[in-house]
Structure 1
Amino acid sequence: MALLPRLRQLMRRPSSASRVGARRPTKAARRGDTLHEDALRSMLSDDPNNERAFVALAEIVRRRAAEASPDHDPLSAETTDTERQRAADLAVWALGEELAGNPRAWYALIEVARLSVHDDHEGTLRRLTTAAERDPSGRALVEALALLREAGLPVDALGLGVGHWRPREHDPEVARQLVLASIEAGRPLEAKQHIAALDLYPNPRAVADLKAELARDVAHAEQTIPGT
C-alpha cells in the first residue's frame, strides 16, 4: 500500500487504536529515549527549524515504529522490512505534521513533502509553498527547489521559485537551484535570467564566484540542448 493511502487509512481509525509513533509505556530500556525525546522537543519548541533536533527526534520515532509488533497496530500485516519502513515513514509524517502546526516551522513541512512527493503532487507543492512563505531567509526555498529537482520535477521547481524568490533578500543558493532547474527543463535562456537577477544581491563580491560557476553550467548545457 502506498504511503499516502496508508496514512489516510490510519487517520480514519479511532485515535485510541493507533500506536504509530506514540510513546511506549516507560521501561528502563526506553527511559533514555524518553528523556532524549523530551529534550529534543524542547529544542524544537524554541527553534522549530532546528534540523539536527528534528533528525534526531525523527530517528527515535522511526525506530519506535519499526520495532512495534503487529499486535500494537492492527493494520500491520507481516512484519517485513517494507512494513517496518512504511510504519517508520508514517511516524515521521505524523511528527512532521505535528511540528508544522507551529507558524514559524518550515523544516517539518519540507520533510513531510519529501515523504509525499511521489504520492501527493498537489499536497507536496502546497507544503513547499507554505514552507517558502514562512522563511524570510530563503533557506526553505532552497530546500524545496532541491527536493523537486531530485524528484524529477524541474518545471514545478521553476514555478515555485519564480513566484517566491526575492534576490535582494534571499540566500543566493536559490539562484543555483533555479538555474539548474532551468537547465534540466531545457530552458537555458531562463537560466541566464536567473543569473542576471543575482545582480540585485546587495553584496556583488559574495555572489561573483557563484555567477561564474552557473554561467559555465549554462554554457555547457547550451552545447548539449538542441536548438540553442
Structure 2
Amino acid sequence: MALMPRLRQLMRRNTSASTIGTRRPTKGDRRGDTLHEDALRAMLVDDPNNIRAFQALSEVVRRRAADSTHNEDPLAAEVADTEKQRAADLAVWALGEELAGNPRAWYPLIELARLSLDDDPEAAIRRLSTAADRDPTGEALVEAITMLREAGQPVEALGLGVGHWRAKEHTPEVGRQVILAALEADRLFDARHHLQSLDLSPDKRAVAKIRPDVQKAIAQAEQKLAGT
C-alpha cells in the first residue's frame, strides 16, 4: 500500500497522527536513549531546520516504529516485514508534520515532500515551494531542486528554481542547481541565461568556485547539440 493511503488509515485509527513521532517510553527504553531523544527534540524546538538533529531523531522514531510493528501497531499483524519500512516512514511523516507547524521550519517540509513525491507529486512540490518561501538563504531551495533532479524531474526542478531563486540574496549554489536542472531539461538557452544571473550574487568567491563546473557542463551540452 502506498504511503499516503496508509497514512490516512493510520490517522483514522489514532486520535492524532503526531503521536507516532512523539517519544513513547517502553519497558526496554534506556535512560541514555531517552536523554538523547529529548536532547534532539530540544534542539529542533530551538531550530526546526537543524538537519543533523532532524535526521538523528528520524532514525530514532524509524527504529522504534519498525521494532514495534508486530507488538504495538494494530496494522502490523496483517503484513510482512516490508511493512516495517512503511511504519518507519509514517513515523518520520508524523515527526515532520509536527515540526512543520513552526512558521520558521523549512527542512521538515523538505522531508514531507520527499516522502510524498511518488504518491502525490503536486502536493510534494507545494511543500517544496512553501519551504523555499520560508528560507531567506536559499538552502531550502537547493535541497528542493536537488531532490527533484534526483527524482528525474528536471522540468519541475527548473520551474521551482525559476519561481523562487533570488540571485542577489540566495546562496550561489541555488544558481548551480538551476543551471543543471535547465541542462537536464534540455533548456540550453535557459542555462546560459541563468549562468549570467549568477553575476548578481554578492558572494563573488562562491560564484568563482561554481562557474568553471557549470561552464563546462554548458559547453558539453552545446557540443552534444552540435553533434546531433
- Short-chain TM bin: over 0.9
TM-score by length of 1: 0.92
State the 1:79 CA deviation: 5.7
Q: Deviation per CA, 1:63-121, whole angstroms, max 9, x where unpaired?
A: 00000043412222456331101100000010001001111011111111111111111
Structure 1 residues 18 and 144: CA distance shift in structure 2, 3 A: closer
Q: What number of residue pairs does the alignment pair up?
A: 228
State the 1:4 CA deviation: 1.1
SS class of match (1:72): coil
1:175 paired residue number:
175
Q: Within 2, Cα distance between the matches of 1:17 and 1:207?
A: 43
1:39 paired residue number:
39
Structure 1 stretch displaced more, 61-70 or 22-31: 22-31
1:82 paired residue number:
82
SS class of match (1:130): helix
Q: Within 2, Cα distance between the matches of 1:151 and 1:79?
A: 28
Contact in 1 for aligned 2:20/2:95 (Cα 8 Å)? no
Structure 2 residues not aligned, in runs of 5+: none
State the 1:158 CA deviation: 1.0
Q: Deviation per CA, 1:1-29, whole angstroms, max 9, x where unpaired?
A: 01111011111224179974443344354
Contact in 2 for aligned 1:133/1:164 (Cα 8 Å)? yes
RMSD of aligned residue pairs (Cα, Å): 2.1
Contact in 2 for aligned 1:48/1:99 (Cα 8 Å)? yes
Letter of the 2:163 partner, please give it. G
Q: Within 2, Cα distance between the matches of 1:65 and 1:91?
A: 6
Letter of the 1:155 partner, please give it. V
1:184 paired residue number:
184
2:58 paired residue number:
58
The runs of 4+ residues in structure 1 deviating greater than 6 Å are 16-19
Contact in 2 for aligned 1:17/1:73 (Cα 8 Å)? no
Query: % of aligned pairs identical?
Result: 67
Contact in 1 for aligned 2:110/2:131 (Cα 8 Å)? yes
Q: Deviation per CA, 1:139-186, whole angstroms, max 9, x where unpaired?
A: 000000000101111111111110110001101000111111111111
